[in-house]
Amino acid sequence: MPMRIGLIAYPLFVIAIAASKGGVVSKFAKANAFSPETARKPASLSIRDTDSVRAAAKRGLLIATANGLYYVNQTRYRRRQRLTIAALAALGIIIALLTVYAFFSDF
């Protein structure tokens, strides 16, 4: 029985950690950097990993200005949030179904 509880708990903890870890784009969003006027430098948000900032800009989540400032592309950011929530919900349903199966089967 404890093993079956672990089948539920471990994946849920991993999902919760992944969901709570916002990343680079969320730091810009928390700073309300949503336009060229409110754009911020990564260093002002304590972001040392400029490669992740460039990667987010390449994916279109951040928009770079001419003077090294970045701001969030709200359309893509919201779509990414919705996709993340949908993926985590689907994963949660799959884990729940597997857990129900594990509780009622003799494996």
Domain boundaries, the chain: 2-104
- Which one has a higher pLDDT value, 17 or 65? 65
pLDDT value, residue 64: 94
5 — pLDDT class (breaks 50, 70, 90): low
Q: What is the pLDDT of residues 66-94, one digit of tens each?
A: 899 999 999 999 998 898 888 888 888 88
17 — pLDDT class (breaks 50, 70, 90): confident
The secondary structure of the chain, three-state, reads CHHHHHHHHHHHHHHHHHHHCCCHHHHHHHCCCCCHHHCECHHHHCCCCHHHHHHHHHCCCEEECCCCCEEECHHHHHHHHHHHHHHHHHHHHHHHHHHHHHHHCCC
Q: Are 23 and 52 in contact (CB under 8 A)?
A: yes
3 — pLDDT class (breaks 50, 70, 90): low
Which tokens go with 18? 């992944």
Which tokens go with 60? 């279109």
- Which one has a higher pLDDT value, 28 or 8? 28
